Amino acid sequence: MVKFIAKGEDASQQKRGPWEPGYVFEVTADVTDAAGETRTGQQQVSIGKEALTLRLELPELLNREKMPPVRLFSTNATGEAQPARGTLRLYRLTPPARALRPRTWERPEREALSPEEFKRLFPLDAYAREDNDSTWARTLVLTQDFDTEKSTLLPLLATPLAQQAPGRYLLEATASTDATAQPAKTERRFTLYAPSAKTLPVPAPDWFVALQDSVAPGQPARFLVGSSEAGARVLLEAEAKGESLRREWLTLAAGEQRLIEIPVPASLGETQLYVHTTQVRDNRLYTHTAPVQVATPPAPLVLSIATFRDKLQPGQRETWRVTIRQTDGKPADAELLATLYDQSLDAFRPHSFRELEFPKPYHPAALAWQGRFDTQESNELMNQTVAGPNVRDIAYPHINMWGFDGEDGDKVYMMVESVKGNTDLAGMAADEVVVAQRSSSNMAKMRVPPPPPPPSAPPAPGMSDDLPDMDELRDKPANLSGVQARKDFRETAFWMPELRTNAQGETVLEFQMPEAVTRWQLLALAHDQQLHSDLLRRELVTQKQLQVTPNAPRFFREGDQLRLTAKLSNLTDQPMQGTAQLFLLDARTQQPLEGTILKSAANLPFDLKANQSSALAWNLAIPETAEGQVPLEAITYRVVAQTTARNRLSAKPKKRPRPLCTPMGRKIRCPCYPTDCS
């Protein structure tokens, strides 16, 4: 636990606005384990004077006859949920008696006209801030308690809201954390309307509400149209598939709200319906466009997977049976796309499947309306540009270096042609490199394939499950050369893009897990010919009871003395004892190098407690290349651990191969391509 004093600005400073100042502190932790591997983590902590934050979630327009859910969230400064109790207050706002048109310019800092004269000259404009509902008078109409620990929903608010008259309202929520802290407060303004009402909820020069965004073929689409102005003329247009379905002028009374129903012919099928309203009045253009999806709502499919195990062994064969059914429980004739990949790839680019989405083309049946009511502050009468001669850049003579750049040493350029994943090049393996080397005046290029991975050591002759007793090996050093190293380190366990269900709506996934020890992500997308779809996501891990994680250097040079460390992890609830052994091979000749560069014992005992880790280390010394000798170019290393149980030996291969970086030098190139075993 890390404790620190979070200091902010001087508390005597005044507030900068309606909100209390807050601060964000970033905590960074660098943790190094016993093997020398360092991991970095960061977390941001928000701290302020307000220990509690409330947030109301409700739409701007509320249908009184079909109330949507209203939610209240209470969180602390870091955004985590924190239970709170408080009071809800509902206020009815009193709007101006006349409808005000939108401003075309900002309100001036100082008015030159009196309110009476301004109202006489500009009866449709706001003098001060009459068009802002924060200045309207409020009347308390409802008080109610809430407790977010029980639920974030406010179900008891729906019935009182449905009983209120249409209009503009303010919902306020307050809660206190303790007696000394300032109460937390939030508010939300909304308009409550009723489709069956004949008058507008608030005075407005233009009123338009789409009551639905999708309808079934043959059902009408409903809209609300209104205006506070007497005799307002509104052009109503409906179109689908580039053809006009309805076009008429509506004449509205003062303050009238009219319910418009547009029948949708069943012959249209599944398409997109567009409804437009246009009104030009008092030097203002009011236009609205509402898209309505005409289609039978697709029922989603239901995916389920049987006998799913979230912990598997590396290299284990597994069979999953995925069942796809319709919402009524009947088997679905569907197709399945499934993949299982290494979840660590999400650090470079998150992977996911999305439900089926198709473009919705729009072909208008008529020309669109455009308004040209605007303000112009100034006009440019003349802009005279003085033309002059063009000055060209001077081309100075240069010296031909004939391939000699004056630098001491060779230059080696490397270019990655194939990189796994969409990420930076650091730490990734290249399938092919291009090496360019300057020689005289010519540029010689040659393709150099990457060095092949060293073959895994074959099992020792006679290696079987019948290992000798520990009594026979008590005075002999353990020999782990017969342990077979893991080879299959694919990052994608399977990719099955086209799996069909049988008559029972089932499909079978048969696969073999790679031998990597990591966390895996299963993604599945099912769909049928009616565009019904569903997604499935699962996580699993592959691990062994005893794991070895080597922490090797990225490169080495001749004459280096280094310390090769490895971390042993006991993932069981029982203690483990055993021996770990380090193997070193010349990557070119596959000859052992323990006697040449290993300066400590190859076999190291370990004693691990339950669910604990420990570090092992070996001392290495890279020899200098003598005159006439072949230099040591690369080393293959293998770390093997075995445990003792019931006087028997049990081989535990660990860890996947990890290619290290190749240093680029003029004389020395000693890359290390290890094969860690687990």
Check: pTM over 0.75? Answer yes or no.
Answer: no
Phi/psi of residue 43, nearest 5 degrees: -150, 135
Among 230-234, 521-525, 541-545, the least confident range: 541-545
**Looking only at Cα atoms, what is the longest distance across the chain?**
112
Q: Is the pLDDT of residue 592 over 70?
A: yes
**pLDDT tens for each residue of 165-195:** 999 999 999 998 765 567 889 999 999 999 9
Q: Is the pLDDT of residue 254 over 90?
A: yes
Residue that has been written with the tokens 């966390």 in this structure? 519
Distance between CA atoms of 89 and 660, rounded to whole angstroms? 65
Q: Given this model, what pLDDT does residue 362 score?
A: 61
Q: Which helix (H) or strand (E) holds 473?
A: helix 470-473
Residue 306 to residues 248, 309, 332, 584, Cα–Cα distance (Å): 58, 9, 17, 45
Among 246-255, 287-296, 439-448, the least confident range: 439-448
Domain with CATH 2.60.40.2950 in the chain: 207-294
Q: Is the pLDDT of residue 400 over 80?
A: no
Q: What would the mean pLDDT of 613-618 be, rounded to a whole number?
A: 90
Which CATH entry fits the domain spanning 299-347+410-452+491-543: 2.60.40.1930, 3.40.50.300, 3.50.50.60, 3.40.50.450? Answer: 2.60.40.1930
Domain with CATH 2.60.40.10 in the chain: 546-652
Q: What would the mean pLDDT of 315-326 be, rounded to a whole number?
A: 90
Q: Is 226 exposed, middle or buried (0-12, 13-18, 19+ CB in 10 A)?
A: buried
Distance between CA atoms of 588 and 450, rounded to whole angstroms? 13
Identity of residue 206: D
Q: How would residue 417 be classed by pLDDT, with cut points 50, 70 and 90?
A: very low
150: which 2 tokens?
């029980």
Residues whose CB is less than 8 angstroms from the CB of residue 294 and which lie 6 or more positions away in sequence, other chains included: 214, 215, 216, 217, 240, 264, 268, 269, 270, 271, 272, 273
Q: What percentage of the chain reaches a pLDDT higher than 70?
A: 74
> 207-294, which class in CATH?
mainly beta
Residue 335 to residues 103, 463, 494, 499, 507, Cα–Cα distance (Å): 55, 46, 16, 5, 9
What is the sign of the dihedral through the CA atoms of 420, 421, 426 and 427? negative
More confidently predicted of 82 and 17: 82
**pLDDT tens for each residue of 33-90:** 877 778 888 888 877 777 788 999 999 999 999 988 999 999 887 778 889 999 999 9
- Residue 596: helix, strand or coil by DSSP? helix
Q: Which long-range contacts (CB under 8 A, 24 or more apart) does 283-288 make?
A: 283/373, 284/101, 284/102, 284/205, 284/371, 284/373, 285/369, 285/370, 285/371, 285/373, 286/205, 286/206, 287/369, 287/371, 288/208
Q: What would the mean pLDDT of 482-497 be, rounded to a whole number?
A: 80
Among 69-73, 102-106, 432-436, 596-600, the least confident range: 432-436
Among 256-260, 328-332, 540-544, 660-664, the least confident range: 660-664
More confidently predicted of 467 and 527: 527
**CATH code for residues 53-102+112-191:** 2.60.40
Q: Given this model, what pLDDT does residue 408 score?
A: 43
- Residue 101: helix, strand or coil by DSSP? coil
Task: Return the beta strands (E) in 307-371 as ranges.
Answer: 311-312, 317-325, 335-342
Q: What would the mean pLDDT of 141-156 be, rounded to a whole number?
A: 91
Q: What is the CATH architecture assignment of 546-652?
A: Sandwich (2.60)
- The count of residues in the chain is 678
Q: What would the mean pLDDT of 533-551 be, rounded to a whole number?
A: 87
Distance between CA atoms of 662 and 675, rounded to whole angstroms? 16
Q: Is the pLDDT of residue 405 over 80?
A: no
- DSSP summary character for residue 638: E
Domain with CATH 2.60.40.1930 in the chain: 299-347+410-452+491-543
CA-nearest of 123, 173, 183 to 152 is 173
**Any bridge partners for residue 645, and if so which?**
648
Quick one: residue 327, left, alpha or beta (phi over 0 = left, psi -120 to 50 = alpha)? alpha
Q: Is the pLDDT of residue 128 over 80?
A: yes
**pLDDT tens for each residue of 257-267:** 999 999 988 88
444: which 2 tokens?
């010689």
Q: Is the pLDDT of residue 534 over 70?
A: yes
Residues whose CB is less than 8 angstroms from the CB of residue 132 and which lie 6 or more positions away in sequence, other chains included: none
Identity of residue 378: S
More confidently predicted of 521 and 42: 521
Identity of residue 222: R
**pLDDT tens for each residue of 650-673:** 333 333 333 333 232 323 334 443
Q: What would the mean pLDDT of 533-537 be, rounded to a whole number?
A: 89
Q: Is the pLDDT of residue 445 over 80?
A: no
Q: Given this model, what pLDDT does residue 493 score?
A: 92
Residue that has been written with the tokens 């449905």 in this structure? 162
Residue 178 to residues 53, 278, 546, Cα–Cα distance (Å): 14, 54, 51
